[in-house]
Amino acid sequence: MWATGSTQRGFTLLELMAALAIAGLVLALAVPSTMRMYDNIRYRQAVRDVVTLFGSARYQAMHSGRAQSVEIDPGKRRISFASTVHQLPAGFSVSVHSARELNRGGVGVIRFYPEGGASGGGVDIESARGAGVSITVDWLLGNVSQEAYAAR
């Protein structure tokens, strides 16, 4: 039972609808940018994985005194060295530039030699938006470098 002169506290229906509309607007703006950020993180991780794999192969060749090969399968978006296999995420395209005499079927091979050199070549990783990174292996010194390019 209500006492006379008491005040009721709470939200009106109009205030609740305004709060829900604002929350919906914030979510509508946040979700697409979160997806772009997630794709960007996956893309950068894929590039890091490839550069690290090339560096590991070069180090192993120099350390063991035996040539080491990195295999790149662009159709399956898979890059492997020894027992390490990196599967690049769907949505990225991969192309390989390598010495024709080392390639096996549709798989490109970049070989690192004990004296520090390499067969040369590279890998291009391109996002669905068309921007990409070209990872290059220098044939003379075996150095690995990368260069970003804009959407073509």
- Phi, psi (degrees; rounded to nearest 5) at 59: -60, -45
- Is residue 124 within 8 Å of 107, Cβ to Cβ? no
Give the CA distances from residue 105 to residues 49, 56, 66, 101, 137, in Å, rounded to whole numbers and listed in that order.
Answer: 23, 24, 23, 11, 21
Give the pLDDT confidence of 30-79 residue by residue, as tens digits. 888 888 888 889 989 999 999 999 999 999 999 999 999 999 999 999 99
Q: What is the pLDDT of residues 83-96, one digit of tens each?
A: 999 999 888 999 99
Q: Mind listing the domains of the chain with CATH numbers? A: 13-149 (3.55.40.10)
